Structure 1
Amino acid sequence: MTLTSNRQIAQLYQGIVRNKTNRVFTVGAGSSLAAKSAGAVFLLLAQIVAARVLGAAEYGYFAYAQNLLIILSIFTILGFDVSLLRFIPEYQVRQEWAELKGILSFSFRSSLLFSGAMTLLLMLFLGLFPTVFTEKQTIPLLIMSFSIPLYSLTMIRQSALRGFKHIVLAELPESIIRPLVFILALLIFSRFYAPVDAAQAWLIYLGVVLLTFLIGTGLLVRAIPPLTLSKSETESRQWTRISLDMMWMNAMNVIFNQASLFLLGFYADVIDIAYFSAATRIAFFISFTLTAVNSIAAPMISELYHAQKHEELQNIMRLSAAFLGVVTLFTVLILSLWGKPILGFFGNEFPQAYKLLLLLMLGHAFKSFSGPASFLLNMSGNQKAMGRVMFCFMLFHLVINFLLIPRYAATGAAIATAVTMVLWNVSLAYMSVRFVKIDPTIFSLKSE
């Protein structure tokens, strides 16, 4: 290790010890990482158990319905999962308790209305166009439709808890309790009713989602402070306008993450879907640390930026860059060396997805090294400029998928995903430096 590296480490340590904001960020990021690490392990274990119990083909149907749920929920969450991270800290600082309860009530009611409508629309679509999907796909999708309201309200509740800085409570029901109960229920069911198909697995999953939704709702009720109800029409319009901007960002982000798998359902074999889904879930471990950092970084970015504390904000970005750099390099090394055995946990045939894993790892590494650039742009009011650029990349992503998947199946999907992730995250980093004058990337360590 060089003298310069030692000096940088010493400066980072002193910055954490002496600065309260840095300490809050470090403790919050550490707690979030611990909770999300445990959750990621349990969630992956749940997918492994599902793959082994169901087999590659039935697991493909099960995973396809899960990913479609994520896509549809964009339009039922309405962007409140992001906007709450901005408004809750703001209202707490100003002690505007009426407005705080107002946006909580408004977000839950709006999402419930739209998620109920989405459930009915999906059921209607499956009934009117039965030839779009095979019977093996249709039944899991029909069962999945009933989980849309629960999933949407769960995402808003998680965001509310994060806004109140209850990071561990936000993760506990869905990241730890849900996968553990699902694993137990699936294993017990398979013991008496083997073989288990995707539809039966989805019935079990729906019951578990309902259970953890009730647990999470109880945690939120206990966590929020006593509030009074008062809300004006003007605030409702503001909440809707900003949240819909965030929804647009979420929509394009989910398209980045899910479009390849979705299109595989039309152009490739179900085995390709299973392989790609397994590789995607493992590759996510490279950038999931960024998700942990974002949980605490989002409200702090908004607070520091609008207080014009740009130096403190850049310090936070340096801390996140150092944190992300170390964890990302370590994770890349582990998955490069032991990717095949890890894939083998899904089933004996899944090590064939190792090439897909390597391609996807490239994209996730660039995402992690770019830091919380998307939240930096969103919380600083640059979401519209970001949205325009992101729309161009969304079109690029769809085009390259349409070109590659019919010919190369899962390999084409992995190439399309990796290329888009690299280009998009480089663009995010560039926009952050240009518009916000803050460098969120690993290169910010050089400027210290």
Structure 2
Amino acid sequence: MGPIILLAILHAGFLAQYAVNILLTRNLDLDGLGDFNVAISVAATFSALFLLGGDSGLNRFIPKYLDSKDWGNIKGYIVHYLKLALVMSLCFSIVSLVADGLFRHYHLEKLLHESYFAMILAPALALITLLGESLLAVHRRYASSLTTELLKPLLFLAGIGIWLFFSPTINEYEATALLLLSLALTFGLQSWLLLRSIPFDFLSQRPRLSIPEWKAVCIPMLITFLANNFVSFVELWSLELLHKSETSVGVFSLLVFIASIIWVNFTALYYFISSRISTFDNNRHSPAAKIPRLCPAAAVRQCAYLLDTRHQCRGDSRLASCRYGQP
């Protein structure tokens, strides 16, 4: 029954995101949709970097600490990576907003892009990712999937709907601000659920830090994540930078989203088994220790795939443009 419930949650979340894309396409047109999706992609990528693999390491350490009732290390791990992600993402967001303001002040429109402003999302995205994985690590998979996969797009959809009820139009910057609001509300609910799910007084517990042990596992996991997602990061960005037609970027991002439904079942499986997977000892013979040696090969394969798909982008974009009635 559990996998069916998770599948229902994830498919409902996909439908909510689909409705969001329909609303944005009607009000931003494909040019604006492409810029918005590129900006969100940039913010999401940097938020993953700022976590330094802490989100991936949660399911390695927290279940083990729960079994041994090591409450200090549970609080220490969560607080350490929350602070780390928050400080780095806030600093980078401030720098990005300053750059956006300077480009506007000196009329350097060619250097302007929505990505600078969208970096305000990086702190919220990092915190939501970490708290969602924390809920999963303490065996609250329904709370994790509901908040991360369903509540977030539903709140964003509701925000856009309310905005369009009072205003006839919406632009990329307004959509980004609405997304930030939905992320903030999601973060608040996740925080409350996590405090209710942890079997000790989180606020009064003294944290204990095992940073070298955590880094030894989390950094290789971050490298693996970046290697495995190299193409998905770079494809949209390279199309935005190299392709002359802004419409093609919007069409491509929309097609990528529609195709992402094939991953819904795998994501549901991840929520179901992730906190049940047995951990490995961190030694030179363990899978975690072999990860850095596997990453160069993965990156080479991804680069080869990117070179191949880059030649196909123009033809695919023209085909999709015809499908959506664009010239």
TM over 0.5: yes
State the match for 2:238 in structure 1: 263
> Which structure 2 residue ranges, 5 or more long, are not aligned?
318-327
Q: Does 1:273 align with 2:249?
A: yes
Opposite residue 409 of structure 1, the aligned amino acid is C
Residues 381/31 of structure 1: CA separation in 2 closer, same or farther (3 Å cut): farther
Q: Does 1:236 align with 2:239?
A: no
Which of 301, 308, 312 pairs up with 2:277?
Answer: 301
Tell me if structure 1 keeps the 8 A contact 2:223–2:295.
Answer: no
List per-residue Cα deviations over 1:224-247 (Å, max 9, x = no partner).
2214634455x1221123222222
TM-superposed deviation, 1:124: 5.0
Opposite residue 273 of structure 2, the aligned amino acid is A
SS of residue matched to 1:302: coil
Using structure 2 for the length normalisation, give the TM-score.
Answer: 0.83
Residues 109/139 of structure 1: CA separation in 2 closer, same or farther (3 Å cut): same
State the match for 2:287 in structure 1: 382
Which of 123, 127, 152 pairs up with 1:153?
Answer: 127
Q: For 1:50 and 1:137, how far apart are their aligned partners in 2?
A: 24
Which of 19, 34, 47 pairs up with 2:21?
Answer: 47
List per-residue Cα deviations over 1:414-447 (Å, max 9, x = no partner).
xxxxxxxxxxxxxxxxxxxxxxxxxxxxxxxxxx
TM-superposed deviation, 1:119: 1.5
TM-superposed deviation, 1:290: 0.9
Residues 34/182 of structure 1: CA separation in 2 closer, same or farther (3 Å cut): same
Which of 222, 246, 265 pairs up with 1:247?
Answer: 222
State the match for 2:149 in structure 1: 175
Opposite residue 225 of structure 2, the aligned amino acid is N
TM-superposed deviation, 1:166: 0.9
Tell me if structure 1 keeps the 8 A contact 2:220–2:291.
Answer: no
Tell me if structure 1 keeps the 8 A contact 2:3–2:269.
Answer: yes
> Residues 32-431 of structure 1 correspond to what in structure 2 (within 5 A)?
32-123=6-97, 126=100, 135=109, 138=112, 140-227=114-201, 229-232=205-208, 235-268=210-243, 269-302=245-278, 381-398=286-303, 400-402=305-307, 404-405=309-310, 407-411=311-315
Residues 393/127 of structure 1: CA separation in 2 closer, same or farther (3 Å cut): farther
State the match for 1:360 in structure 2: none
List per-residue Cα deviations over 1:324-370 (Å, max 9, x = no partner).
xxxxxxxxxxxxxxxxxxxxxxxxxxxxxxxxxxxxxxxxxxxxxxx
* Alignment root-mean-square deviation, CA: 2.8
> Which structure 1 residue ranges, 5 or more long, are not aligned?
1-26, 307-379, 414-448
Opposite residue 55 of structure 1, the aligned amino acid is D
Q: For 1:229 and 1:403, how far apart are their aligned partners in 2?
A: 53
List per-residue Cα deviations over 1:162-198 (Å, max 9, x = no partner).
0011112112234323322322322332344333221
Residues 302/118 of structure 1: CA separation in 2 closer, same or farther (3 Å cut): farther
Opposite residue 285 of structure 1, the aligned amino acid is I
Q: For 2:109 and 2:188, how far apart are their aligned partners in 1?
A: 32
List per-residue Cα deviations over 1:75-113 (Å, max 9, x = no partner).
111111110011111111112122212212212112112
Structure 1 window deviating more from structure 2 (275-284 vs 154-163): it is: 275-284
TM-superposed deviation, 1:37: 2.2
SS of residue matched to 1:196: coil
List per-residue Cα deviations over 1:255-307 (Å, max 9, x = no partner).
2322111111111122221122111112111122111111232222225x77x
Tell me if structure 2 keeps the 8 A contact 1:119–1:148.
Answer: yes
Tell me if structure 1 keeps the 8 A contact 2:124–2:180.
Answer: no
SS of residue matched to 1:37: helix
Residues 158/230 of structure 1: CA separation in 2 closer, same or farther (3 Å cut): same
Tell me if structure 2 keeps the 8 A contact 1:165–1:296.
Answer: no
Instruction: Report how many aligned residue pairs link the two structures.
Output: 309
Residues 28/237 of structure 1: CA separation in 2 closer, same or farther (3 Å cut): farther
State the match for 1:20 in structure 2: none
Residues 404/28 of structure 1: CA separation in 2 closer, same or farther (3 Å cut): closer
The higher-RCO structure (CA 8 Å, 6+ apart) is 2
Larger Rg: 1
Q: For 2:22 and 2:136, how far apart are their aligned partners in 1?
A: 28
SS of residue matched to 1:55: helix
Residues 383/263 of structure 1: CA separation in 2 closer, same or farther (3 Å cut): farther
